[in-house]
Amino acid sequence: MARGSALLDGSVLPPSRITSEKQAGLPRRFMPESATGREIVMLGEGRPAPDYPGRSVFFLPFAMAGLVPPFSSFFMDVLEFYDLQMAHLTPNAMMTLAIFAHLCEMFIGVRPSLRLFRWFFTVQSVSPPSVVGGCYFLPRGPVLNRYIPCVLRKKWDDWKSDWFYTPLADEARLRLPSQPPAQA
């Protein structure tokens, strides 16, 4: 972990690097504008607030991968089926979901489905276990030659420090977890 980004006592995240209006410019490019005029990107802090009604921790690499609210039913189905919270996933897990959804919608002409996703991928824990970014999706061996070739980034440097708040529905799957993923 980069210098100055060590985890704070009792927190699952390092201090945010998105703490000024200047640093909020990049997240604002990716996040959709609010129809109500409500601020979409609220600055991060030294430690995430334990209770933040009406807002949730969100990561810049997730937005860069195409995950922006409102979330698709496919995304929520994946979280529910694997008993995950959004922050359990790595940026490459988000890229995998985005590529799969795009492939289904734009090239095959079907809605992305959990059943089809499970045919191609399985969930895998990172080692050592981690609360934030604790799992990713691993292609199933026998079906690799039936899926499009994908090369994902090997490393997202210090991505856990690139967090900010955004208004999200108060759903358990979207809250910041306190434990590593259970089943992964």
Cα(40)–Cα(47) distance, integer angstroms: 19
Cα(88)–Cα(132) distance, integer angstroms: 5
Residue 4: pLDDT band by 50, 70, 90 thresholds? very low
- Residues 129-151 have pLDDT tens digits of 999 999 999 998 877 777 777 77
Cα(95)–Cα(32) distance, integer angstroms: 18
Q: What is the domain extent for residue 101?
A: 25-174
- The answer to whether position 79 is within a domain reads yes
Res 50 pLDDT > 70: no
- The total number of structural domains in the chain stands at 1
This prediction has a pTM of: 0.86
- The answer to whether position 20 is within a domain reads no
Element (H, E) at 63: helix 60-64
